[in-house]
Amino acid sequence: MIFGYARISSKSQNLSRQIKELEEYGCDRIFHEKQSGKDFDRPIYQEMRSKMRFGDVLVVHDLSRFGRNKKQILEEWKNLAEEEIDIVVLNMPILDTRKYKELEGVGQLVSDIVLTLLSWMVDEERERIRTAQREGIEIAKKLGKFKGGKKRYYKDAKGKNRVIYDEVVRCLKENVSVMDIHRKTGLSRNTIYSIKRENEITETT
């Protein structure tokens, strides 16, 4: 039997395109769900796996629909191979395990290719997210909408925050180490260094 599996991570995404491709491929049964791909503890995926047997085929649109944790993907891929369940990745024709049944050792090579490709995909996605975040911040700054984190400890702070700020400044002027100030006040070292820079306090020897 040919099983199709479609997955999206959020309700704002759409399953239609994946399902259409799986139908056109000729899948006998199609399972789909809206779940994160961080692991394989997904109810619909596990339901599908419980029905799969020797000689079945699992079809997915791409590796990211299969999952996003590269270590777990490789483990699941090997589990399927051990159960003699074939895997087809539609947008990567090389990832069709049925092609390698007669070629000794190639199955392991394919698994290695999967891991390499997935690593690349994950890195690329993370870089795209970082780039988008940087671009979004730059645009917000230009529009005057980016405020950054709100400071709690500064010279015009009120109440307890002002007391702590003044204590940090006093300690810095007395050359108390940043680590000791951190232990005394509970403030992060980054916050203390920020206060130090703002006051241009230099240590004397």
* DSSP conformational letter for 96: B
Helix (H) or strand (E) holding 77: helix 70-82
Catalytic residue among 9, 36, 111, 194: 9
Query: Helix or strand or coil: residue 165?
Result: helix
Spatial distance between the Cα atoms of 31 and 179, rounded to a whole number of angstroms: 55
Residue 97's closest CA among 128, 51, 55?
55
188 is an active site residue = no
CB 202 within 8 A of CB 192: no
Q: Which positions are annotated as active-site residues?
A: 9
